[in-house]
Chain A
């Protein structure tokens, strides 16, 4: 296994040298030379070279008989007996993939007293719903969930397993994929079936500044967690059409070193920031912590959530769970209203895939205006107060 420059094809254009994030490529006359002590096999040079002069050869074989694996699975995450918001999106995307691949789509639910979820999911365009009902699975804990899903996968051999990129999905599938020695791609924003039948998984990296497409050619299942609010939701029908299968639970899988003591809900917010369709977000430009009250009022009127920039959180204006950005949350709402936020690169990383961005800032040169669909130069607090006033005075939101 190696990376090598094909001498006859290299014309010495040096594009690869510039493309390498590890500074691993230099020129020996007109020939590119790769320092194997620095190369991380990221593939940037392979993509950059216009002459196909760099190749990465991996001497690997398929593990086991890949042809034994069929079907697309969606993990039907549930919390307190309610399906996570991302599940219908996974079903929507899963159905498209299953149709292209010519295979079945199944949803797998782990939990306690989940029969009603079986009935709910059976109305969606899925072929099977597996219910794994056990009191030790009521809430997510890593070990029982991992053992159960790994056992199901080993027995039923799905070709693809998808889950939402939630705090549960990301932790849980990482353990399952490691256990099964198979590939997992995190936080995907794009999925498709290639001509050769492989699942191509596209996701952002470097805080969303680049996109990477990933595949898992040698092992099964191909696993991915999928970003919320990107894929199109499936619509359930009137009647249940899927087959519901109650899997007999195995007590021996349920040991856990984790004991859940209590849950302290975030009572300040009506809507959770990662689920919100509308986010009203504030930055240092708001001036004082009290001004966030106006953002909260507007968010409540719009059934939205309040976000904050890192600067606002670091200066104590808002608590960390509201932070949007590279070291906070990544959000993808229909509408993101940035108030007094300058638009630092790290903040954009967390919200630049919002459907529509409105920015209000005193500084006409604030970087946020370079990504905002609608920019307003003014005092964010005054403008927000005015919007609230106009909404309340009867101009309303809905027409």
Chain B
């Protein structure tokens, strides 16, 4: 079990790394990041924002998994996107800045408020040239992930969808340095995978068994471990 302090420390490193990937930061900007202090904890299943809510409380994810989702009147849910340590939740540059979907913690999650930092850097682009530009880059990343999600669910078969999503989640964790140990563990239930991929739980179960036979994943109730990045990559390439 990873301690909370270590999770938060890893999460802070993930934020810094993610920002540095999106834009080079100067010393003032790295110093400004240390001003991120106000932590917010969410329980698994807790709603963070809902449709129509103003997007006026942006936060970085330090630990845990958060999703953006829409629900139908009969309770069916579509997960649109996952937010992982190092990601920015609840920001938007468009006029009015209101949420179009729910934001929900899938696991216990810890975030750190970033509203003041974002406002400060946007108002002083000369002093914070990297950070002033980085917020738009986050929006661009989100748009890219939404495009991937549409293509995955609109054009791929179940096995392709699952392999593609697992690869994406793995790459995102690796990129910001939060893969502290192998294998890569996804704390996602079959239902959550189904909600993300537009598949029924039993169908997800079938596909996970296939990926397990291919020695790509190991599964247990409520979690999936990715065992072999090369085999996963081969499975994704086979779909192209």
A, B co-complexed: no
Residues of B within 8 A of A (CB): none
Residues of A within 8 A of B (CB): none
